[in-house]
Amino acid sequence: MQRVHISEKDFVNVVTRERGWPPQARLELVEALRGGAALYVFLHHFAHEFLVMEHPAISRLFVLGQAAVIVFFILSGFVIQLSTFAHGKSLTFRDYFLRRFRRIYPTFIAALALGYAAACVEAHSLVPLRGWDLLGNLLMLQDNKKAGTWFAPYWENSPLWSLSYEWFFYMAFFVVAVALELRPDRQKYAVLGLGIVGALIYLAIPNQISFFLIYFIIWWSGVELGREYSETGRITFGGQRVTFGLVAIMSLPFGLAVLKAFHAGESLSAYEHPLIEFRHFLTALALLALGLAWARVGFGRHGWATRRAAWFGKISYALYVFHRPMLSLLARFRITPWVAADFLLWVAPLTIVLAYIFEVKFQPRVNRLISV
């Protein structure tokens, strides 16, 4: 199979044209899912940091913030598979790396700077640069605090934890795709094997790389969705049953660890190892099941809500990495007695404007500067 790469928009147009589908509708659906997930994470952090005490019923509507991140993982694998193997010229690792670098790093570096600036504004002075943590983030080795974590997200910009996973998945995808280029049917088993090795190493020596390997199968489930979609024009339970089973297998070590802890009478936090990993895998399985059921009925109609969410999909990445520093400013500065009013009056609009500037205005210039 020839390794090629086109833009995410073009891959939808090519694949849907070959299958006889309206291309814009399929593009809108992918963008709508990303836009909806990014908005949900934004609202999740706002609700649980500012509304949980006075309005617990509202905050309970936004308890699935990390589920939205799993949506990002699966969609990312889906898009990378299709955009890399749709059509066009041969893609070298250099070209592939530069395409991923220019898409991820400019906005990511802006998010690091925004987090530092927000911390300075909140403290009314220059705060420590935290050079070691900054280096770890620039190397994409950050994660939320747990055993084996090497670096925390820079200046508490917690959504950045998932960026390190995404970057690892991008690089590992190319390696697996090249190593098993002639046997694509074996790639998912290789990914499961890497996850099992990662889990075994983690038991002996907790480390960050093991977590990347363990979660790789969740991201790869999106690759398998994309593979079936491009080859048959459909996504089916039958076509994805093996992938579904592999994700379930990878969840077992964490499920057993949770059962062992409960049996021993230990108190487990939903956001701590091993319960958080078990939740993530159960979430991935639930999302895959829902997605397959949705595909079975033809994905439904694309109406006004889909179009609005698709617009946010265009700025979803910047919205995702920018919103947490903006919320830290909300904790420090208030112009009304009601936090929800401040959120609607200036925090949400300013965050959206910043995201729009970087995604729609700045990113195309980066693409032209780093042409591949």
Contact between 291 and 336 under an 8 Å Cβ cutoff? The reply is no
**Peptide bond preceding 253 in cis form (omega within 30 of 0):** no
Residue 89 has pLDDT above 80, yes or no: no
Q: What is the spatial distance between Cα 61 and Cα 28, in angstroms, rounded to a whole number? A: 25
Q: Between the ranges 27-41, 141-155, 314-328, where is the mean pLDDT highest? A: 314-328
Section 84-93 average pLDDT? 67
Residue 302 has pLDDT above 80, yes or no: no
Contact between 122 and 328 under an 8 Å Cβ cutoff? The reply is yes
Residue 5 has pLDDT above 70, yes or no: no
pLDDT tens, residue by residue, 207-231: 999 999 999 999 999 999 999 998 8
Q: What is the pLDDT of residue 311?
A: 92
Q: What is the spatial distance between Cα 316 and Cα 318, in angstroms, rounded to a whole number? A: 6
* Torsion of the alpha carbons at 231, 32, 37 and 114, rounded to the nearest 10: 110
Q: What is the spatial distance between Cα 78 and Cα 221, in angstroms, rounded to a whole number? A: 8
pLDDT tens, residue by residue, 13-29: 444 444 444 444 556 78
Q: Would you call 2 helix, strand, or coil by DSSP? A: coil
Section 289-305 average pLDDT? 81
Q: Look at residue 258 and tell me if it is in a domain.
A: yes
Instruction: Please count the structural domains in the chain.
Output: 1
Q: How far is CA 90 from CA 6, 77, 87, 167, in A?
A: 11, 20, 9, 22
Which residues share a beta bridge with 151? 142
Q: Look at residue 320 and tell me if it is in a domain.
A: yes
Q: Look at residue 3 and tell me if it is in a domain.
A: no
Q: By mean pLDDT, which of 91-95, 241-245, 287-291 is the weakest?
A: 91-95
Q: What is the pLDDT of residue 15?
A: 43
Q: Look at residue 2 and tell me if it is in a domain.
A: no
Q: Look at residue 292 and tell me if it is in a domain.
A: yes
Percent residues over pLDDT 90 in the chain: 71
Q: How far is CA 202 from CA 73, 166, 210, in A?
A: 22, 20, 6
Sorted by sequence, the CB contacts under 8 Å of residue 172 that are 6+ apart come out as 194, 212, 216
Position 113 confidence tier, pLDDT thresholds 50, 70, 90 = very high
Q: Look at residue 1 and tell me if it is in a domain.
A: no
Q: Look at residue 158 and tell me if it is in a domain.
A: yes
Q: What is the pLDDT of residue 146?
A: 85
Q: Look at residue 227 and tell me if it is in a domain.
A: yes
Contact between 74 and 219 under an 8 Å Cβ cutoff? The reply is yes
Q: By mean pLDDT, which of 34-48, 90-104, 301-315 is the weakest?
A: 301-315
Q: What is the spatial distance between Cα 73 and Cα 57, in angstroms, rounded to a whole number? A: 28
Position 335 confidence tier, pLDDT thresholds 50, 70, 90 = very high
Q: Tell me the backbone φ, ψ of residue 127, rounded to 5 degrees.
A: -100, 165
pLDDT tens, residue by residue, 48-75: 999 988 888 888 999 999 999 999 999 9
Distant-in-sequence contacts of 109-113, Cβ < 8 A, 24+ apart: 109/138, 110/318, 110/321, 110/322, 110/358, 111/157, 111/160, 111/318, 111/321, 111/322, 111/325, 112/137, 112/138, 112/154, 112/155, 112/157, 112/160
Residue 56: domain span:
8-369
Section 305-334 average pLDDT? 93
Percent residues over pLDDT 70 in the chain: 90
Mean pLDDT (the chain, rounded): 89
Q: What is the spatial distance between Cα 365 and Cα 370, in angstroms, rounded to a whole number? A: 9
| More confidently predicted of 146 and 171 | 171
Residue 2 has pLDDT above 60, yes or no: no
Q: What is the pLDDT of residue 90?
A: 62
Contact between 218 and 73 under an 8 Å Cβ cutoff? The reply is yes
Q: What is the DSSP letter of 264?
A: T
**Rounded to two decimals, what is the model's pTM?**
0.90
Burial level of 303, CB count in 10 A (0-12/13-18/19+)?
exposed
Six token digits for residue 94: 């250099």
Q: What is the pLDDT of residue 29?
A: 86
